[in-house]
Structure 1
């Protein structure tokens, strides 16, 4: 069954992958939140509050903000 293994049962490669994905996810989240805080409202498509909430949706939220939430 997928997802039923304990951390100690995972291989070194699996642990490294999960740790790396976590670092990438948290970095994207932090970058999006910092950008939202610094960028004026008139340079953002939609509301800052909505984008802040969406940024917490795994990889999709921050990436969507950087692709679609900022005005050029």
Structure 2
């Protein structure tokens, strides 16, 4: 039997779903950009950015803020 205190209301589940989709889209955009960008335009080796981007929110944000040469 599920304890009512541990259940998330429908609005909470929906909000978590939306947050998850936004995070996945953010990571997808970072991977897409990394794949299509020339290595000279990326700070550091491109293969090292792959595991970094997998870190929720921090990885894609770090790539877009610090990984791209401007």
Task: Note the residue ranges of structure 2 that are not aligned, 5 or more in a row.
Answer: 1-5
With normalisation by structure 2, the TM-score equals 0.88
Structure 2 equivalent of residue 20 of structure 1? 18
Query: Cα RMSD (Å) of the superposition?
Result: 1.3
1:2-13 alignment runs, 5 A limit: 5=6, 9-13=7-11
Segments of 5+ residues of structure 1 without an aligned counterpart are none
TM-score for both structures, normalised by structure 1: 0.85
Determine helix, strand or coil for the equivalent of 2:55: coil
List, as ranges, runs of 4+ consecutive aligned residues in structure 1 with deviation greater than 4 Å. Answer: none
